[in-house]
Amino acid sequence: MHWVVFAGQHGAYQYFVNRALPVLGEFRTLWRLDNATFTHGRTGLRDEPLPPLRDFVAANKVSDETWRAPSSSGPAAGDRYITKYDLTDWVRNLVFYGVYGTGRAPYGSWYINPGKDYYNGNHLKQELTVHRESRTGDAVMLNMIHGTHFQALSNDSFADGKMWGPWLWYLVRSDGPPQVPPPPLPQFVHSSSKHAD
């Protein structure tokens, strides 16, 4: 993982260049953030509080990372469920997404993806973005740059030198999602002579 940090920038530009990855199904970056500070999740489709850890009751577990919400009254119609997939989004919508807090903890952590060419799949692909970790309560933010959620299993080989990114991880003090777009991504030139023109 390469980090590019500029003075005065609230975050870091990141990218990854393959140098001997094994055959993989998923490839991602992931942040586990403080659950008291980062209480809300935002994607291109939804903007809402993350479910509190107390709602993940073992007796209510239905299947892999899916629980019947404590307010549900049994198998009757209208039951509400909690899953780590509630805040997924279409790859085509992934302009920016992340987690944030309000009130006394007005901070936001965002992934800003200016392009989609390094993602696997196409404009119809959905992917996991943010969720509450069911065991620890962490606010989780994922950048699934080669994800397999919502599709058949995938085991892929990657060419040496394949690049994913850049994207901006943007950490900022703000009460909610950014109201103005962050600065544009600068042009990166890979420093390896093997890739130079």
Average pLDDT, the chain: 82
Pick 2-50+87-173's CATH classification: 2.130.10.10, 3.30.830.10, 2.70.98.10, 3.30.1370.160. 2.70.98.10
Mean per-residue pLDDT for 168-188?
Answer: 66
pLDDT of residue 78: 56
* Segment 95-154, tens digit of pLDDT: 889 999 987 778 999 999 888 888 887 778 888 899 999 989 999 999 988 887 777 667
180 band by pLDDT with thresholds 50, 70 and 90: very low
3-state secondary structure 115-136: CCCCCCCCCCCEECCEEECCCC
* Segment 13-32, tens digit of pLDDT: 999 999 988 888 888 889 99
Write down the domain spans for the chain.
Answer: 2-50+87-173, 54-83
* Segment 37-51, tens digit of pLDDT: 999 999 989 999 999
For the cut 70, the answer to whether the pLDDT of residue 60 exceeds it is yes
For the cut 90, the answer to whether the pLDDT of residue 87 exceeds it is yes
pLDDT of residue 12: 93
Long-range contacts of 177-182 (CB under 8 A, 24+ apart): 177/42, 177/47, 177/96, 177/98, 177/100, 177/108, 177/110, 178/96, 178/108, 178/110, 182/11, 182/96, 182/110, 182/112
Identify the three-state secondary structure at position 93. Answer: helix
pTM of the model: 0.82
169 band by pLDDT with thresholds 50, 70 and 90: very high
